[in-house]
Amino acid sequence: MSVEHTLLAVLSFWPSTGYNIKSEFEHKAAGLYWGMSYGSIYPKLKKLEDEGFIYTVEQEDEGRKKKLYELTSKGWEEFENWLKVPPSYPVIKDELLMKMSTWHEDMDYDILITHLTKRKEETEDILRFVKEWPQNGYSYISKLGTLSIRFAEMRLETELKWIAESIEALKKDDLPNGQDPHGNTEKLLERRRKAIGEKKEK
């Protein structure tokens, strides 16, 4: 029931519309929140309303009609009970790590360096945002929110450090030794060459 609880959590800050929730999640703040599409948000909001966790505060004052949702007492209770449940361990899907750790020696390292460089730029962008966010003067960030953001900051900085080290190592071809007790590196290259019918280069 995680999407529902995320919605309750967002609504705990202040009453919001479905559209608004989506935009809040758009810049998704470096892993603090994760994205949701309208296709999940609107039906879930309706469901939460049907079940009595939230209610609509119709708004028409600014010309546009929109549906503001607010938590009911049942909604607050559900939200707070969810807060008390020990969180499950985070899931990280990092394609770069997957690719890097399955990269093989007949594949040009330069392409990998390109991937790392792209990642570096993206991470720098997010880090810049994360650093400015708690000082922009208008966003609401609670004391504990600041602690969470501190984590994002530390994590992103660690990542940049690792990227720099990795690019260095790749450029100098100064890579650490792996662990290959059964000569797998060679076997892999042989299997590959046999399969694609290539003769050994170098």
Partner DNA sequence: GAGCCCATGTAAAGTGTTACATGATTGC
Partner DNA sequence: GCAATCATGTAACACTTTACATGGGCTC
67 binds, among DNA, a copy of itself, none (CB under 5 to 8 A by kind): DNA
Question: CA-to-CA distance for 86 and 169, rounded, in angstroms?
Answer: 40
Instruction: Give the residue carrying structure tokens 């990642």.
Output: 119
Q: Is residue 37 a contact residue for a copy of itself (CB under 8 A)?
A: no
**Cβ closest to a copy of itself, residue 67 vs residue 141:** 141
CB of 21 to DNA, least distance (A): 8
Structure tokens at 124: 């720098």
CB of 23 to DNA, least distance (A): 6
Provide the 10 A C-beta neighbour count for residue 53.
Answer: 24
Structure tokens at 6: 């995320």
Structure tokens at 175: 């890579």
199 binds, among DNA, a copy of itself, none (CB under 5 to 8 A by kind): none
Question: CA-to-CA distance for 102 and 98, rounded, in angstroms?
Answer: 6
CB of 154 to DNA, least distance (A): 27
Residues 76-135 that bind a copy of itself (CB under 8 A): 76-77, 80, 82-84, 86-104, 107, 111-112, 114-115, 118-119, 122, 134-135
